[in-house]
Structure 1
Amino acid sequence: MFVNLSDHERCFALMIHVLESGEGFLKVVGEAGTGKTIMCRKLLRFLSTDQASAYSTVYIPNPMLSPVALYRAVGQELGLVADEQSDNGARLGDITEKILALAELDRSVVIVIDESQSLPPQTLEALRLITNLETEERKLVQIILFGQTELDTLLNQDRFRQLRQRITFAHYLQPLSTLETSQYIAFRLSQCGYNGPQLFSNKAIDLLFRHARGTPRMINVIAHKALMAAFGGKSTLVLPAHVQRAINGDNRPPILKQAPWLILVAALLFAAAVYWRLQ
């Protein structure tokens, strides 16, 4: 689960709309740490529910694949047995037959690719060939690409003009606002079981936001270090000085004697939420 941040909610709603309307192709772009992988996981969880039973999902977490490896991965996700002797044409033919068989069962194939800015050009072209499959009524394969801004640079190459034309929707994930940063920290703490009083002063949140620039990944790292700095300073509240210590990389071990237990518990819980990705 992810905090109901407005931009992330809009992104998720758009993805569901694209799937339900059968529009075929969507890209989700954002800077590193803005929550693309979290959105990808949220989509995959939705696609595994009963209400999404009309979809067969193909998930490619590591796109650094050759065309042969891509076809093999897609085939395996669709339940095909890989034939090591088959060439690209034969593998694509097998995938096509499987997709047509699923279409007869009223199931569409959704290919979800994370970190898609790393797709080699030849593999991106191989992906385009899969998207050619459609009937007069609807597209049989829908693709959602999650990637950093380099994905746009890749797709803007002239050789990918046909593929670019097929991308019907795009969403650009925005950094969090100051208010959303505060909500995000509170959410992370609540998700790992903390339900005590507010731990970050408003000025601490402002400083953290300015340095992290609204990027959830950086917010996680700085917030955790700031909690530990507050604990080491025997403070029951995270202040700007603690955030500044976290920003400066001051990782001296905290003083353990007579330090407030509440902030230590919160720090450890927050660390668990960050490093074990409790979502």
Structure 2
Amino acid sequence: MSYLTHFGLEKAPFSLTADPHFYIDFIPHKEALEVITTALSFGESILKITGEVGTGKTLLCNKLQQELSEQYHLCIIDNAYLSAHELRCLLASKIGIDKADFDEQFLLTEKIKERLLTLRDEGIKVLVLVDEAQALPDSTLEALRLFSNLETDADKLLQVILFGQPELDLRLADPKLRQLRQRITFSYQLRALSEQEIEHYISERLKQAGYRGARLFSTRVCRKISQASRGIPRLINILSHKILMLSYGEQHYKITNKLVKEAVADTEDAYALPTLTGWWLLLLSFIVLNTTLLLWWKGLL
């Protein structure tokens, strides 16, 4: 018997895989999707979505694949260490160019342009989704920019969405990449979730996993998860998963503060929760400070 059976779940609710079936339409992701779909409809060449580690960039990327697969020929670039030539070869492969044409770099670029023109004439739009873009070499980022230059009098032959950590913005600030930076016409930065969003997030993930019982995670427990996770979805998943495992290990259904503290203590990147002793010391310091100020104001010190 696993904790899934214990809680009446059909599948793991807090898996770390970026499963679009677990996508929840929170404000950060909803706004990012709106920015992307609007920019794509305008024909913009390069878009950028950034966010801290664990804020759901890959999940958003997978959701876009699901949403846009009927409108675009999608080219997914999920290897962040490709050289510029390897990028050309991968793109060529994804748009149907024979591998026998991969050897000569200059000719390959021309063949990619010819193939993109053919696809355009067939009414097929090409969209390149690049995950972990902050890790791509400068030469590879420059190759992407050059591909974004390919166009007819009326249309871009392909469009690019870069997904990356905040380090991508730091790299784009380098004068060497200023031409690429100027090509990025729309961008959005994913934020962490608020306490209220976390409470809804946990509830929805459980519901999508098949849970139909009484409420498991109270507002108080969610508040502690919010403090420890800093609102980062990946950490919320890790903590929630560990809490359910601990509850199952004790063979009960109640999620207690004790279980939350144990899960937090076992998670390296989680912020330690303030202890009761710490709160008392803070309160005592506040009282002493205010008493001292009051006595000073009355001239007794």
TM bin, normalised by shorter chain, reads 0.7 to 0.9
Q: Is the 8 A contact 2:145 2:183 kept in 1?
A: no
Residue 234 of structure 1 and its aligned partner are, at CA, apart by 4.4
Mapped pair 1:123 → 2:144? no
The structure 2 residue matched to 1:40, chosen from 61, 65, 70, is 61
The answer (yes or no) to whether the contact 1:63–1:115 under 8 Å persists in 2 is: yes
| Matching residue's letter, 2:39 | V
12, 23, 26: which is aligned to 2:47?
A: 26
User: Structure 2 CA distance, aligned partners of 1:87 and 1:79?
Assistant: 17
Matched, 1:155 2:134: no
Residues 126-183 of structure 1: CA deviation (Å, up to 9, x unaligned): 1111111112222221100001111111111101111110101001000001111111
Matched residue SS, 2:113 = helix
Match of 2:36 in 1: 15
Write the deviation string for residues 6-56 of structure 1: whole angstroms up to 9, x where unpaired.
11111111111111111121100000100000000000111223xx1xx22
2:262 aligned with 1:245 = yes
Alignment of 1:1-279 (within 5 A): 1=21, 2-49=23-70, 52=71, 55-83=72-100, 86-249=103-266
* Runs (4+) off by over 4 Å: none
Classify 1:85/1:137 alpha carbon distance in 2 versus 1 (closer, same or farther; 3 Å). Answer: closer
1:85 deviates by 6.0
CA shift in 2, pair 1:98/1:199, >3 Å:
same
Q: Which amino acid aligns with 2:132?
A: E
For each residue in 1:172-208, what CA deviation from the matched residue of structure 2 results, as whole angstroms up to 9, or x when unmatched? 0000011111111112111211111110121111011
Larger radius of gyration: 2
For 2:231, what is the secondary structure of its paired residue?
Answer: coil
TM-score by length of 1: 0.84
Q: Tell me if the contact between 1:200 and 1:238 (Cα under 8 Å) persists in the aligned partners.
A: yes
1:168 counterpart SS class: strand
- Quick one: higher RCO (CA 8 Å, sep 6+), 1 or 2? 2
Moved more, 149-158 or 229-238: 229-238
Q: By how many angstroms is 1:86 displaced?
A: 2.3
CA distance in 2, matches of 1:162, 1:107: 27
Distance 1:47 1:154 in 2: 29
TM-score (ref. length: structure 2): 0.79
CA distance in 2 between counterparts of 1:36 and 1:229 reads: 29
Structure 1, 160-169 or 99-108: larger mean CA deviation? 99-108
Q: Report if aligned partners of 1:56, 1:107 keep a CA contact under 8 Å in 2.
A: yes
Q: Secondary structure at the match of 2:99?
A: coil
Which consecutive residues of structure 2, in runs of 5 or more, have no partner in the other structure? 1-20, 268-301
Q: Aligned in 2, Cα 1:31/1:85: closer, same or farther, shift over 3 Å?
A: closer
